[in-house]
Amino acid sequence: MKTLYSGGLVFDGSGNLLENHGVLIDGERISSIAPIGEFDGYSGEKIDTSGGTLLPGLIDCHVHLVYCGEADPKSSLLKLGPGQIVMKAFENAQKTLSSGVTSIRDLGGRDYLEFAVRDACNSGRQLGPTIMAAGKMICMTGGHGNAFGRIADGPDEVLKAVREQIHAGSDVIKLMATGGVMTPRVNPEDAHYTEEELRTGVNEGHRFNRTCASHAQGAAGILNAVRAGMDSIEHGIFMTQECLEAMLEKGTYLVPTLAAVNNIFLNRDNGIPAFIVEKTIRVRERHHQSIKMFYEAGGKMAMGTDAGTPFNVHGDNSQELQYMVDLGISNSDALKISTANAADLMGMGDRGQIREGNFADLLIVSGNPLEDISAVANRGNHRSVVKNGSLVQFS
């Protein structure tokens, strides 16, 4: 079945805004992008995008489907049985898709239960975003994420832990280079894994064609992760000039997750555990400075929200674009970071751009997001979502 989208603007994901162009979808893929005159005589189905913009579906490189944005997500998760966790994760995936996010990377779940959601959505048995999943995050004894992660100490144990994730079916390897905000009795500034431990994990992940992501907040841990060959740094809160230069040299992606810290800060009086609030207040401004510094230096960035953390709910992922623009990132770059760049980080060469042959993952919004980012960031401006060529509709 063919459908022609025309009448409005087209943002192609790579930074180009096209006027008077049509986009023809044939089945699941984009078959043509051309000046509208080239479609004269087309008599098939048409979707009028007048007054709006057609752009690639957004891509979120950092979510946690098993969390639901509660004030204390870990405590809430511990109260649920496996079946309940799977159903919650599936609901979160569908909320995410309905909000215009057509692909996601889950960076840490519970006992691989989120894999059932991934497999159902990716196979087409259920409607949902395209999902890559890490399985269990790998951390040191007492490290950030130890409640549900795979604890491993020393290079040999890290090697075994990576192999376990691959055997379980992980698409990406998640390694914890530093402490974090949401684990008690750890400091975000502290390096956890050594460079040697991280390099062992990265090398093994890459040997089996998995990308590797690292939770890394403190400067020493960021450096360890970058030097170890990590594909992406998640958060990057206490970045220094030395960290920045190392990332630029290696071409390492930064996934900022501004929504995580901002939503905790904005809801700090709403029942979030005190230790999380204290650390959030301590790191928030430094986080903003680091992201601005990295962007202004021309570093590679991909959108990620950490959805599932306190008051950072699935379905509000597009809020991240507003947070980026508020820091001085241009509208065009925020859109590219959230589409083409994110697809590149996730190794999805046939998503993230409106390009002939790509899957037709699309978002249609009212207005021009290059003039006002709220056209995308505010869900009230979304008109429709298309996944693999089909209009997304939930009963």
Same structural domain, 69 and 159: yes
Per-residue pLDDT at 103:
98
355 — phi, psi (to 5°)? -150, 140
Same structural domain, 50 and 152: no
- Residue 55 gets the label, from left (phi > 0), alpha (psi -120 to 50) or beta, of beta
CATH number for the domain that contains residue 387? 2.30.40.10
| DSSP state letter for 31 | E
181 — phi, psi (to 5°)? -75, -40
Same structural domain, 17 and 166: no
Mean pLDDT by 10 residues, the chain (395 residues): 96 96 98 96 95 98 98 96 98 98 98 98 97 98 97 98 98 98 96 98 98 98 98 98 98 98 98 97 97 98 98 98 98 98 98 98 98 97 97 79
**Whole domain around residue 363: which residue ranges?**
2-56+353-391
Q: Tally the residues of the chain.
A: 395
Same structural domain, 190 and 48: no
Per-residue pLDDT at 180:
97
Question: Of 317, 338, 365, which one is at a domain's C-terminal end?
Answer: 317
In a domain, 343, yes or no: no
Which positions ≥6 away from 69 have C-beta within 8 Å?
A: 307, 308, 309, 310, 311, 312, 313, 314
| DSSP state letter for 277 | H
Triad 59, 65, 67: Cα angle to 5°? 130
Same structural domain, 181 and 269: yes
In a domain, 337, yes or no: no
Nearest to 102 by CA among 181, 13, 234: 13
Sign of CA dihedral 53, 56, 57, 63: negative
Same structural domain, 270 and 160: yes
Q: Tokens for 279?
A: 């650390």
Per-residue pLDDT at 395:
52
In a domain, 330, yes or no: no
CATH number for the domain that contains residue 110? 3.20.20.140
In a domain, 200, yes or no: yes
CA 279 – CA 78 distance, rounded (Å): 23
Q: Tokens for 51?
A: 């007054």
Per-residue pLDDT at 1:
87
| Residue position matching structure tokens 């698409």 | 171
Report the number of distinct structural domains present in the chain. Answer: 2
- Residue 155 gets the label, from left (phi > 0), alpha (psi -120 to 50) or beta, of alpha
